[in-house]
Amino acid sequence: MNWRRIVWLLALVTLPTLAEETPLQLVLRGAQHDQLYQLSSSGVTKVSALPDSLTTPLGSLWKLYVYAWLEDTHQPEQPYQCRGNSPEEVYCCQAGESITRDTALVRSCGFYFAPQRLHIGADVWGQYWQQRQAPAWLASLTTLKPETSVTVKSLLDSLATLPAQNKAQEVLLDVVLDEAKIGVASMLGSRVRVKTWSWFADDKQEIRQGGFAGWLTDGTPLWVTGSGTSKTVLTRYATVLNRVLPVPTQVASGQCVEVELFARYPLKKITAEKSTTAVKPGVLNGRYRVTFTNGNHITFVSHGETTLLSEKGKLKLQSHLDREEYVARVLDREAKSTPPEAAKAMTVAIRTFLQQNANREGDCLTIPDSSATQRVSASPATTGARTMTAWTQDLIYAGDPVHYHGSRATEGTLSWRQATAQAGQGERYDQILAFAYPDNSLSRWGAPRSTCQLLPKAKAWLAKKNAAVAAYITRRDGVQRTRRVCGLSFSLRFPLYRSAAETAVYS
């Protein structure tokens, strides 16, 4: 037996698996300096200050700057009409259809943002960005192209001051929510708002590099690159990015919520915590004790967000809260901030219930503090509740009406007790939500949509025909019985889906 030959062949086979993994590079802007993280699929391998010499191709990021200009200068919408003349339209729409600005940014439709199509003059473009002290590469339309190499530092500088970034951040949440990016929303929640990019590595046409750039929810700029396309980078490294990326706790939605505290319990008197003298109507700052007409009392804290009102001789406590602070306070009152996955699911349910049931007065949503709606903590939210809320900021579960309960579990109602048990079994927040609300889909506050096109007749037929099969597969480890049947939706990447739109599949 030729042992030398066998050893040589074994070495040849195992060499690629033993080779060092090409690290993912992540740059986060810091208060003092920018940090460069090198990541493997198992964790952080190196942390250092960002070198000024590190560069990146723009790739698809140029579209983000055109988007910002269009939004900030209030340009009218100019939909792009797909005619089927180019394979690149696969990123835009089907022949005969059109695409608008927000969707074009998420899908990375270059045809939409072409400066020539939008009649953007070089002089107008240059003056606009020069007035904002943008990098030279951004102020020139001739260099605003995928192959342009820029320093990562200048890229982060431009993102930190990008006009209309709040709107861009809102829209770019859809990148994470793309169901084709399996596991990304599950691992990252809503913490990153990024534009993806892909290009050729070192001008080698056969090797791709990709990544994304944008912001954390608190506005911190970030940039990521790795081998492969942006989609493979996101899906491959979502787990390790989840461990590395911070969770901001001081974030605001900009959406106000007016809450009548203790709406179902008449108030008798409000005093400072260590006083017996009733306070006069007005803005409250400090610790207070509220006594109800039934003799019960409770202590709460206000930092100016709660006002004592007297209407027709009746006392009333009104809180003016940011939407995300409201969600965190409901989490404190209705559940807990642990276990984390159950708490994350609960914040999405709370936010969805608010959107589905609140009234609107002026710029604010209004909803009473009541067991008939949602109970709200009268005091500021705990750090734990704010952290869980920030992790899912802006996420809702769109579709059918949502409800939740402390212990009762029915379809369309999330049971907190069951959610904690599911979290204990290793299920993530999106799995908990899918079990409670099988006909809904993870979506964002500003554009609620369910990706499940329900097929109730198919669901009933499958439930009847497949009872024995379902009973069998649910006994297998790692397999769960699905609770909804959806029609396959149209996919830009796979046009075959259109012809199969009426096909029933388990989702």
DSSP H/E element including 443: strand 441-444
The whole-number pLDDT of residue 193 equals 98
Please give the backbone phi and psi of residue 206, each rounded to the nearest 5 degrees, phi first: -90, -10
Q: How many CB atoms lie within 10 A of CB 85?
A: 9
State which of 427, 449, 471 marks the end of a domain: 449
Nearest alpha-carbon partner for 195 in 75, 351, 91, 48: 91
Are residues 489 and 377 both part of a single domain? no
Rounded CA separation 186/47 (Å): 26
Provide the pLDDT for residue 21: 58
For residue 117 the two structure tokens come to 């199509």
**The tokens of 66 are what?**
């055109």
Per-residue HEC secondary structure of 245-262 comes to: CCCCCCCCCCCEEEEEEC
Contact between 318 and 259 under an 8 Å Cβ cutoff? The reply is: yes
Q: Are residues 384 and 291 in the same domain?
A: yes
Q: Is residue 381 part of a domain?
A: yes
Tokens of 274: 């260590």
Structural domain contains residue 497: yes
CA pair distance 309, 267, nearest whole angstrom: 11
- The residue among 358, 390, 396, 394 whose CA lies nearest residue 374 is 358
90 within some domain: no
Whether residue 478 lies inside any domain: the answer is yes
Same domain, 359 and 387: yes
Are 266 and 238 members of one domain?
Answer: no
* Tokens linked to 113: 């943002």
φ/ψ (deg, to 5) at 506 = -80, 135
437 and 490: one domain? no
Alpha carbon of residue 156 to chain centroid: 21
Q: Are residues 37 and 162 in the same domain?
A: yes
CA torsion, points 85, 88, 89, 91, in degrees to nearest 10?
170
Output the CA–CA distances (angstroms, integers) from residue 277 to 258, 261, 315, 399, in the order listed: 27, 21, 15, 49
Closest CA to 189 of 233, 230, 245: 245
pLDDT digit string (tens) for 118-172? 999 999 999 999 999 999 999 999 999 999 999 999 999 999 999 999 999 999 9
DSSP assigned state of 374? B
**Does residue 220 sit in the same domain as residue 316?**
no
Q: Is residue 55 part of a domain?
A: yes
Q: Across-strand partners of 62?
A: none
Is the same domain home to 279 and 383?
A: yes
Name the residue among 190, 241, 196 with its Cα closest to residue 218. Answer: 190
Tokens 């004592």 sit on residue: 308
What backbone phi and psi angles, to 5 degrees, belong to 230? -60, -35
User: Which residues make Cβ contacts (< 8 Å) with residue 119, sequence separation at least 6?
Assistant: none
Q: Is 110 within the bounds of a domain?
A: no
Residue 30 tokens read as 């810091």
- The predicted pLDDT at position 458 comes to 53
| Core vs surface per residue 109-143: b (16+ CB within 10 A) or e | bbbbbeeeeeebeeeebbebbeeeebbebbbebeb
Sign of the Cα pseudo-torsion (106, 171, 234, 50, in order): positive
Return the bridge partners of 410, or none: 413
Domain-located, residue 391? yes
pLDDT given at position 468? 56
Do the Cβ atoms of 264 and 371 come closer than 8 Å?
A: yes
Output the six-digit token pair for 429.
Answer: 């927040």
d(CA 221, CA 153): 10
Into how many domains does the chain fold? 3
Say which residue the tokens 């911190």 belong to.
220
351 shares its domain with 420: yes
* 445 and 457 co-located in one domain: no
Does residue 271 sit in the same domain as residue 232? no
Q: How many residues does the chain have?
A: 507
Domain range for 156 is 24-75+118-244
Q: Which stretches of the chain score pLDDT less than 70?
A: 1-21, 202-206, 449-507
User: Regarding beta strands 256-261 and 364-368, do their DSSP bridges make them parallel or antiparallel, or are they unpaired?
Assistant: parallel
End-to-end CA distance of the chain: 54
Q: Is residue 349 assigned to a domain?
A: yes
Structure tokens at 34: 């920018």
215 and 309 both lie in a single domain: no
Cβ atoms of 353 and 374 within 8 Å: the answer is yes
**HEC string for 181-227:** CCCHHHHHCCCEEEEEEEEEECCEEEEEEEEEEEEECCCCEEEEEEE
305 vs 331: CA distance, rounded Å? 18
